[in-house]
Amino acid sequence: MTNFPTTKYERGKIFAKTGLKVGKNYASHFLKSWIKGENDRSALYKKSAEDLFGEFTKLRGTALKIAQSFSIDQGFLPDEFSEVMTQAQYKVPPINRSLVRSIIKRELGGYPEQLFASFNPEAEAAASIGQVHKATLKDGTVVAVKVQYPGVRDTISSDIALARSLFRTIVSKSEPIEPYINEVKETLLRETDYLQEGQSIDRFHKRFNSKTIFTPQWIPDLSTERVLTMTYLEGMHLNEFLQNDPGQDIRNQIGQNLWDFFHNQIQDRDEIHADTHPGNFLFDGNGNVGVIDYGCVKSFPESFFMDYLRLLPTHLKQDEDEIKELYFKLEILKGDPEKNPKEKLFFDFCKNYGFTFAMPYLEDTFDFGDPEYKKLIAGYTKNAPFTNEPRGNKHFIYTTRVHLGLYHLLMKLGCRVDTSYSKTIIDEMLFD
């Protein structure tokens, strides 16, 4: 059980300490490899990731969101990092049980023992913004009660301010970073409003709850901005599910359900569950998928979203002029690649990456279990041309998170997916 640092000083100190710890790990690794001639980096990566995770769990909020992103964006970091960071999705040390009890009293007007038939004071899962407790209502309904860490809103503002000053030193002064920073800040702050999340749960339940996709039901009478009550979903997280060595058929079935869920969301052009990391999906063992955590639900402007979708067929056609035109519209290119070598570098990289990314839409089935494809995607992430200027429309932050997050889930599942239905959806959206 830990207390939660909220002041700028405390949080800055932890950031600095983390840097020192990771620096120390690298220094001792290089010293050892110099003296003993050993150069096994996996232990170094694991130790550094554990140190990073350990310190980030103290910070929660924005820092843990970063840790969660590390676990999705495989390829950018070594596998050992991603494995440890996966814990950031649900294995954060919970807060004091007495504090949870007091928060519930202040928010719901009564203590858990008064409001619920039973309430487990031990958190079922604890993540970046809050922790979840299993409880039973007086009518026997099993529910999940999500309790927000106190002061988490303030920490988001101070962490974003810290990140802004950090980016300012890295990013070229002429480049605007505010739209990106503000997009992340607004999304994070929206995630702290549990009433909005409850309404999203309601809408997603009406839209998607079916035989293959199960979603919770919101219980508004026991919810406030900081406490959220919803029906409890049973199921295993991805790692736990894979430990049972499931057969290929069930992997394919799950993959298909995830793939269809994603495309059904975009078909409605309404809102999208934009937090596609393994911690937000549950598997029941029969191939059905539970979708939890509706804090990060996004709606994108129609024009951006259609252009984003248009990237898929355009990359597959490999028509350079059309690709270029789209890239300009989506703010990926800032100048003519024929005249500017830096733009040419970007153009070539994005064109090839875009084609690889669109490959699942090429044929009627696609094997996400193909190790070559995983290597290909990871290779692009590793070899991305880094510069000190941000590229692409600010909405890419979340569309990429959803789309890439889905690919990584499917690759981890090692499933084969029928993509014909999704291609029809995209065709209808773009050309009808």
Q: Interface residues with other proteins (CB under 8 A)?
A: 1-4, 6, 95-99, 101-103, 105-107, 111, 113, 121, 150-151, 226
Helix (H) or strand (E) holding 259: helix 248-267
Nearer to other proteins among residue 106 and residue 342 (C-beta): 106
Q: Are 392 and 330 in contact (CB under 8 A)?
A: yes
Nearer to other proteins among residue 98 and residue 172 (C-beta): 98
Cβ count within 10 A of residue 68:
26
What tokens were used for 153?
A: 């809103």
Nearest approach, Cβ of residue 118 and other proteins (Å) = 9
Amino acid identity at 368: F
Nearest approach, Cβ of residue 114 and other proteins (Å) = 8
Nearer to other proteins among residue 58 and residue 374 (C-beta): 58
Nearer to other proteins among residue 28 and residue 114 (C-beta): 114
What tokens were used for 309?
A: 């979708």
Nearer to other proteins among residue 151 and residue 287 (C-beta): 151
Nearest approach, Cβ of residue 160 and other proteins (Å) = 19
Nearer to other proteins among residue 103 and residue 297 (C-beta): 103
The dihedral region occupied by 101, where left means phi > 0, alpha psi between -120 and 50, and beta the remainder, is: alpha
Q: Are 133 and 147 in contact (CB under 8 A)?
A: yes
What tokens were used for 212?
A: 């293959």
Nearest approach, Cβ of residue 280 and other proteins (Å) = 27
HSE-CB at 64 with a 13 A cutoff on CA atoms is 26
The dihedral region occupied by 125, where left means phi > 0, alpha psi between -120 and 50, and beta the remainder, is: beta
Q: How far apart are the first and last CA of the chain?
A: 55
> What is the edge-to-edge ordering of all strands in the sheet holding 213-214?
213-214, 289-291, 281-283
Nearest approach, Cβ of residue 2 and other proteins (Å) = 7
Nearest approach, Cβ of residue 144 and other proteins (Å) = 19
Helix 61-72 and helix 41-59, axial crossing angle in degrees, nearest 10: 150
Nearest approach, Cβ of residue 7 and other proteins (Å) = 9
Nearer to other proteins among residue 108 and residue 274 (C-beta): 108
